[in-house]
Amino acid sequence: MKKTCAIILIGSLCLECRLGAQHDDALRQAAAQEAAGNLRGAIATIETALKAGPGAESLTRRLHELNKKFYLTPADASDGETYKVKGGDTLTSIARAHDITPELIMRLNGLANDRLRRDQTLKIVRGPFDARIIKQTYTLEIRRRDATLFTYRVGLGKEDSTPAGAFTAGAKLKNPVQFDREKRTTIAFGAPDHTLGTRWITIRDQYGIHGTVEPESIGKQMSKGCIRMLNEDVEQVFDLLVPGKSKVTIVEAP
> What distance in Å separates the CA atoms of residue 41 and residue 78, rounded to the nearest whole number?
12
8 Å CB contact between 126 and 82: no
DSSP single-letter state for residue 80: S
With contact defined as beta carbons under 8 Å apart, do 250 and 163 qualify? Answer: yes
Amino acid at 192: P
DSSP strand pairing (247-251 vs 130-134): parallel
The four Cα atoms 154, 157, 158, 164 give a dihedral, to 10 degrees, of -120
Q: d(Cα 90, Cα 95) in Å, to the nearest integer?
A: 8
The 10 Å CB-count burial string (b at 16+, else e) for 110-135 is ebeeeebeeeeebbbbebbbbbbbbb
* Active site amino acids: 210, 226
SS3 (DSSP) at 102: helix
Amino acid identity, position 73: T
